[in-house]
Amino acid sequence: MGNRMEQKSVIITGGSKGLGRGIAKVFAREGAKVLVVSRQPDTGERTAKEIVDAGGTASFFRADVSDSDDVAAMADAAIDLHGGIDVLCSNAGVFPSVRLEEMTQEDWDIVNSVNLKGTFLAVKACLPELKKADGGRILLTSSITGPITGYPGWAHYGATKAGMLGFMRTAAIEFAKYNITINAVMPGNIRTEGLDDVGDDYLRLMEKSIPMGRLGDPEDVAYAMLFLASHEAKYITGQTLIVDGGQTLPESIDAVS
């Protein structure tokens, strides 16, 4: 275990699986007191237990980030359990696929409510404690989809991930006087549970489009988050860090061959 986050209280929304689970484990290994936040108690409690069994400090809290009361209770839980809030990782997100011709207003609202409104609510709820911290940190999980690329079926998802960056840039200006930084990581294709059903042939095709020849691991994103949360990144705010193995660089798959 390291000590870059020694005794820091860290909230990770969407922390029960996938990217969030990877982020939670890396931060805990670096000494953080992690609050794993999820709507899913089974996977959330399992992730917190895995951290504790490995010698780290973690608690689980059930919350829906699109619900302001839940998010306020989440912030209170971090204060009660871990003594405050030093780092918020706003990672919770949903990505149901539906093309625009079939997309309903409900489809649009669900994704925006969790991904974009959920980010706003989490930041607002944690801000009073982040102001008390010695250099509070806010980390956003955006994506290459939306800010840089597009993909059929993800117009609503891409809109939220681009919207998070617009939110971040103004928040960075407003929060600078409190010595709070806010930055975003933009992952490419990362190997998580969400890819379990796509099949090996599709995974191989995805890998061929990435110059580094492989999908990313959740820890690849987690270590980028760790840097942005660290003392070394104290003068970085309102910025994005792409973690995609070079996926967004080629003009076409021929450039990778």
Q: For the chain, what is the mean pLDDT?
A: 95
At residue 56, the pLDDT reads 97
At residue 255, the pLDDT reads 87
- In the structure, what pLDDT confidence band is assigned to residue 195 with cuts at 50, 70 and 90? low
The whole-angstrom separation of Cα 241 and Cα 239 is 7
47 backbone dihedrals φ, ψ, rounded to 5°? -65, -45
pLDDT > 70 in the chain, percent: 97
Known catalytic residue at 157: yes
Whether the pLDDT of residue 115 is over 90: the answer is: yes
Taking the model in full, what pTM does it have? 0.95
Whether the pLDDT of residue 81 is over 80: the answer is: yes
* pLDDT tens profile 96-110: 999 999 999 999 999
pLDDT > 90 in the chain, percent: 88
Whether the pLDDT of residue 193 is over 80: the answer is: no
Whether the pLDDT of residue 219 is over 80: the answer is: yes
Sign of the torsion angle spanned by Cα atoms 91, 97, 103, 107: negative
The whole-angstrom separation of Cα 223 and Cα 88 is 15
> Looking at domain 9-245, does it have CATH number 3.40.50.300?
no
* pLDDT tens profile 239-249: 999 999 999 99
Whether the pLDDT of residue 197 is over 80: the answer is: no
Top-confidence residue, 157 or 206:
157
At residue 194, the pLDDT reads 67
At residue 198, the pLDDT reads 62
Residue carrying the six token digits 């999980």: 141
248 backbone dihedrals φ, ψ, rounded to 5°? -85, 0
At residue 196, the pLDDT reads 63
Which DSSP helix (H) or strand (E) runs through 206? helix 200-208
188 backbone dihedrals φ, ψ, rounded to 5°? -90, -140
The whole-angstrom separation of Cα 182 and Cα 172 is 6
At residue 19, the pLDDT reads 96
89 backbone dihedrals φ, ψ, rounded to 5°? -105, 105
Pull the structure tokens for residue 224. 């980028």
The whole-angstrom separation of Cα 144 and Cα 248 is 8
Q: CB atoms < 10 A from the CB of 68, how many?
A: 16
The whole-angstrom separation of Cα 58 and Cα 38 is 13
Q: Which of 151, 157, 202, 223 is catalytic?
A: 157
Instruction: List for the chain the helix, strand, coil content (%; round to 5).
Output: 45, 15, 35
Residue spans of the domains in the chain: they are: 9-245
The whole-angstrom separation of Cα 154 and Cα 160 is 10
